[in-house]
Amino acid sequence: IITGLHFFASGAFLYSGGGVENIGKAAACRAVRRVYLALKRFLNVFITFPGNTRETPSKRASMQLYYYAEFPNVIGAVDCSQISIKAPSEPTQADFVNRKSFHTINVQVLMTLSLT
């Protein structure tokens, strides 16, 4: 489980995820899959979009987003950004160097409107 959680939390490649528990790539792959399947069961509990729930009309969300940002027929948005970080310790340092040769981590943001 630790290997799977480390893989998802670090954003690193699978080979570095197996290094946490000093296990092979195949075992790391199985651990990641087990954690993924466990997390997938809770997908609809923690991630909901307007329209996925009975009481939240997606049309109202679309109208609100158009009012705020003039985006027609949209109920949410996803964006990514590179955030500068201090260089991590040596074994994984190269994994965090971006194309402009400085250390960053990719952060993904999901935005939907609150209808309350």
- pLDDT tens for 9-57 read 776 666 554 455 678 888 888 888 898 898 888 877 776 665 555 545 5
Look up the pTM and report it.
Answer: 0.40
Higher-scoring residue by pLDDT: 23, 65: 23
Higher-scoring residue by pLDDT: 96, 108: 96
Q: What pLDDT does residue 55 have?
A: 45
Q: What are the Cα distances from residue 74, in Å, to 48, 56, 60, 64, 65?
A: 15, 14, 10, 9, 7
d(CA 113, CA 104): 28
The average pLDDT across 62-78 equals 73
Residues 61 and 50 sit within 8 Å (Cβ to Cβ): yes
d(CA 17, CA 105): 16
